[in-house]
Each structure stands twice: as structure tokens, then as C-alpha cells.
Amino acid sequence: MRKIIKFVLLAATAASPLAAQNWTPRDGREARDNRAEIRQDRQEVREGRAEVRGDIARGDYREARQDRREVARDRGELRADQREAWRDRAAVRDGRSGSYAEGRRDGRQDWRDNRGDRRDDRFDRRDDRRDGRDGRGYGYNGNNGNNGGWNNSWRSDRRYNWQGYRSANRNIYRMPRYAAPRGYGAGYSRWSTGYRVQPYFYGRNYWISDPWRYRLPPAYGGYQWVRYYDDVALVDIRTGLIADIIYSFFW
């Protein structure tokens, strides 16, 4: 009888490390990351609800309906995150490993990347609506005549902290070699605000089609962000006048 008890204890001791081998610190980190994402989603839902209440208080029921739809999408993503977190916790408890678990992790990472892109687009749309709603649509403010009607106060807006964003995302600002317009390849000449440039320099192939990608404000009212070598200039494409410019913006 004593031998049998000793054999059972040895078998249990050997089984415990074997089960533990399937759990890795990476699984625990992923579970914590998922919980952090869930907290962020909850905060977004709360902010969306606050926007709806603000729209209703202003009597802007069209914006309220749009915000409700966005809140509904946020809640759907929140529920999806919660389900994913539950599955991750179950996987950690079960000690799953091998190619199946690795494939699931890769699939989750792709899903998170796509979800992050959708979230950026959603924030961009919300910011654009707020700009038009609270009078901070920089392209529409004609307060600064020296800059062709463009209001440069966007530089003090924390949403457009492109320096900090560039420091953390250097690869986004690394651009291909600049190709000057045909016949204007004499080299770089420093532009400045108020300077008028030829239309060849602000053709569509030089436009920054997604300013938010580089944490620049949206260009309204005939303005367009344009790449010029490593600089980025805001050009009034109706007149060719430079309303704003940032030197050495790209790498």
C-alpha cells in the first residue's frame, strides 16, 4: 500500500511541470494587453455617450444620431474584445500551446492591427466633425490674413503633436526620394509663408492625401498639404500661395 501511495505522488509531481510547460509569460502578457484594450474601449464608449448627450443639449439631433451609431459600433467592438479576452484566459488556464495556439495569436494580432486602423479612421471623422462644429476648422477661419486665411493655431492643438508622434513612428515619415516636376529639377530652394509657387509643385501626385497619418490638421476650403522635398507645405491651390510650412518634416 505504501508503494502505491508513493507511486501516485510521484506521478502527480511529474504531471504538474508538464502542464506548466504549455503556459508561457507571453500568454499572460497578451491577456493583460487584452484587458487594457477592453478598458480603453469602455472609455471610448463613455466618451461617445457624452458626445451624444452634448449633441442633444445643443439640439443637433443629426450629429446625435451619427454619434449613437458610432457608440453602437464601439460597443460591438467592446463585446468582441471581451469575448476574445475570455478565450485568452481560458487558453492560459488550459495551458494550450503549439502551432494551433501560435496561429490563433497571429490571427489576433492581424485583427488588432485592422481594428487599430479602423479606430484611427473613426477618431479622424470625429475630430473633423468637432472642428466644423466648434469653429476650429482651421481652413475656414479667416482670422490671419497674412497666411492667406489659414489659422495657424493648430500648432498648439495637442491632437496634432506631430513631433512627438514622429519620434515614436519614425518609419511613417521616411519617404521615397523626391521627384521634382519635369523641367524644375534645379534643386531645393527654401520656401516660406506667403510665397507663390508654380502649379507644377502642387499637382495631385504631391498631395498628402491623409494628413492625419502624419498628425497634420485636415485641409479645408481649397487648401492642400503638399510635399516639397523633406518639407510639407499647405498651399492654397486656387492661388498657389503658401499658407503654412514645416521644414524637415520628413526623413
40-51, pLDDT tens digit by residue? 777 777 877 787
Could you report the per-residue pLDDT of 161-202, keeping only the tens digit for each?
Answer: 999 999 999 999 999 999 999 887 678 999 999 999 999 999
Residues forming a β-bridge with 227? 232
Neighbours of 5 (CB within 10 A): 9
Within 10 angstroms of residue 182's Cβ, the number of other Cβ atoms is 7
Say whether 227 sits in a helix, a strand or coil: strand
Share of the chain above pLDDT 70, in %: 61
234 φ, ψ (degrees, to nearest 5):
-95, 115
Banded pLDDT at 6 (limits 50, 70, 90)? very low
Q: Which amino acid is at 79?
A: R
Tell the burial category of 8 from Cβ atoms under 10 Å away from its Cβ (0-12, 13-18, 19+).
exposed
pLDDT of residue 233: 98
Q: Judge whether 219 and 225 are in contact, CB under 8 Å.
A: yes
Phi and psi angles of residue 117, each rounded to the nearest 5 degrees, phi first = -65, -45
Cβ–Cβ < 8 Å for 242, 193 = yes
Which of these ranges, 7-11, 23-27, 172-176, has the smallest mean pLDDT? Answer: 7-11
Residue position matching grid coordinates 502527480: 12
Q: Which residues contact 14 (CB under 8 A, 6 or more apart)?
A: none
Provide the grid cell at 244: 503654412
Contact 64, 57 (CB under 8 A): no
Provide the whole-model pTM: 0.47
For residue 20, pLDDT over 60 is answered with no
- Residue 129, pLDDT > 60, answer no
Label residue 241 by pLDDT band (50, 70, 90): very high
